[in-house]
């Protein structure tokens, strides 16, 4: 009797082992996609927003049959909006999980650190929200669905100079790749228009007391203050302290402080603040509307701009895989990353949730941006503006 039991156990191990083997490489196996986003820390809300949109997109794709019969499987790592953590996470996704495509990071520093791992490994890295101009030169396998700060910074400067009629600007930015990218572009563009940068202040991530910098800004008597935090928490503190110190200049910012939940929870602090972000037509764009409805049904909340870019990234990858997966790939689940890369460089006027998307020779999206103003706890649209 004991021998029979032993043989049953052996047969079970063989069967389970065979299923495990074919789960990765057989006809019923999945295709793994890496996701590298900040899941903890001050930027976790970006990671959560993008992660939710990725879940919505993957469910849509899998429910429709996946990629040539194979389901997409998400392997997620926490990049913490930190270069060191992102590098470690990318190492795991590439070398242990063996993914060929990673969606992320959310932050620019996170993305640039991951690119140092993914580029030599010839792994696709596609970010939904990294906007530093440095990402443009991060590698041939690096893409993004969010525009470079080279555009947003120029728009912010030109709008301030031409529409707000200001001539003296103060700049207050966090010492991160994202914020410094916008700082440099804004300063150059504002000066080129004939404006004067009267104060240029920075702060370290984690700082909470900005009195020294704010005093310098106040004494410089600017017409406008351009505030670019990496995450909402320090940005809200800066604006609050500027108001408390009776700095009467106009306040402008980037997309970080335009987050609808942040605006709704901080209406008095953010009243009158003007910022720049890509425009999403949630009512009339079919993909944006589909995302919004699915997001509300699944999470009981509205998606944001970064959600739309993350959603587009997944659907772009889906179409790229559909177009490039070979017969051998269909049998093994193996992705040809070089073929996916080449397909992405050919994207032109692709209908995304954010609107028509073209990817240029640097892997950057070509798309428009809109100027917004916060009024009574709502983000109002001031229309598109070009640099």
Q: What DSSP letter does each residue of 315-369 carry, written as one string? A: HHHHHHHHHH--HHHHHH----HHHHHHHHHT--SEEETTEEEEE-TTS-EE---
Whether 176 and 39 map to the same domain: the answer is: no
Whether 137 and 211 map to the same domain: the answer is: no
Whether 41 and 137 map to the same domain: the answer is: yes
Domain assignment present for 223? yes
Domain assignment present for 132? yes
The count of structural domains within the chain is 2
Within 10 A of 149 (CB to CB), how many other CB atoms are there? 30
Whether 35 and 175 map to the same domain: the answer is: no
Domain assignment present for 3? no
Instruction: Please name which of 144, 215, 221, 213 lies closest in space to residue 181, comparing C-alpha atoms.
Output: 144
Whether 271 and 225 map to the same domain: the answer is: yes
Whether 242 and 114 map to the same domain: the answer is: no
Whether 225 and 246 map to the same domain: the answer is: yes
Whether 305 and 347 map to the same domain: the answer is: yes
Domain assignment present for 2? no
Whether 180 and 87 map to the same domain: the answer is: no
Q: What is the CATH number of the domain that holds 53?
A: 3.40.50.2300
Tell me if the pTM is above 0.85. no
Query: Which residues constitute the domain of residue 234?
Result: 150-277+370-384
Per-residue pLDDT of the chain (387 residues; tens, 9 = 90+): 444 444 443 344 333 343 333 334 444 589 999 999 999 998 898 899 999 999 999 999 999 999 999 999 999 999 999 999 999 999 999 999 999 999 999 999 999 999 999 999 999 999 999 989 899 999 999 999 999 888 899 999 999 999 999 999 999 999 999 999 999 999 999 999 999 999 999 999 999 999 999 999 999 999 999 999 999 999 999 999 999 999 999 999 999 999 888 999 999 999 999 999 988 889 899 999 999 999 999 999 999 889 999 999 999 999 999 999 987 777 777 899 999 999 999 999 999 999 999 999 999 998 878 999 999 999 999 988 876
Whether 90 and 120 map to the same domain: the answer is: yes
Domain assignment present for 60? yes
Whether 245 and 376 map to the same domain: the answer is: yes
Domain assignment present for 4? no
Domain assignment present for 247? yes
Whether 65 and 96 map to the same domain: the answer is: yes
Burial class (CB in 10 A: 0-12, 13-18, 19+), 168: middle
Domain assignment present for 358? no
């Amino acid at each position: 009797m004991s021998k029979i039991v032993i043989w049953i156990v052996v047969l079970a191990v063989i069967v389970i082992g065979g299923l495990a083997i074919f789960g990765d490489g057989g006809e019923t196996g999945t295709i793994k996609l890496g996701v590298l986003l900040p899941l903890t820390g001050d930027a976790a809300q970006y990671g959560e927003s993008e992660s939710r949109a990725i879940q919505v997109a993957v469910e849509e794709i899998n429910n429709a049959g996946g990629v040539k019969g194979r389901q997409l499987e998400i392997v997620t790592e926490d990049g913490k909006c930190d270069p060191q953590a992102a590098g470690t996470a990318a190492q795991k996704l590439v070398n242990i999980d063996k993914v060929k495509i990673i969606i992320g990071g959310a932050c620019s520093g996170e993305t640039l650190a991951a690119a140092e791992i993914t580029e030599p490994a010839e792994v696709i890295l596609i970010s939904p929200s990294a906007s530093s101009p440095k990402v443009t030169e991060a590698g041939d396998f690096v893409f993004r669905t969010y525009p470079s700060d080279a555009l947003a910074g120029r728009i912010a400067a030109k709008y301030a100079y031409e529409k707000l009629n200001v001539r003296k600007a103060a700049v207050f930015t966090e010492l991160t790749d994202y914020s410094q990218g916008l700082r440099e572009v804004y300063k150059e563009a504002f000066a080129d228009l004939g404006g004067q940068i009267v104060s240029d202040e920075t702060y370290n991530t984690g700082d909470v007391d900005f009195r020294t910098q704010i005093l310098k800004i106040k004494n410089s008597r600017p017409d406008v203050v351009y505030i670019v935090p990496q995450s909402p928490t320090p940005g809200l503190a800066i604006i609050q302290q500027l108001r408390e110190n009776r700095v009467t200049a106009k306040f402008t910012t980037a997309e970080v402080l335009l987050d609808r939940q942040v605006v709704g929870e901080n209406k008095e602090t953010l009243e009158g603040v003007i910022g720049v972000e890509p425009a999403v037509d949630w009512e009339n764009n079919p993909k944006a509307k589909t995302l919004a409805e699915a997001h509300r049904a699944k999470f009981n909340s509205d998606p944001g701009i970064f959600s739309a870019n993350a959603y587009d990234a997944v659907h772009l990858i889906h179409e790229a895989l559909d177009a490039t997966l070979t017969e051998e790939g269909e049998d093994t689940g193996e992705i040809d990353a070089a073929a996916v890369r080449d397909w992405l460089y050919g994207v032109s006027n692709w209908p995304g949730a954010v609107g028509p998307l073209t990817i240029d020779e640097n892997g950057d999206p070509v798309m428009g941006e809109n100027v917004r103003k916060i009024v009574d706890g709502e983000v109002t649209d001031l229309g598109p503006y070009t640099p």
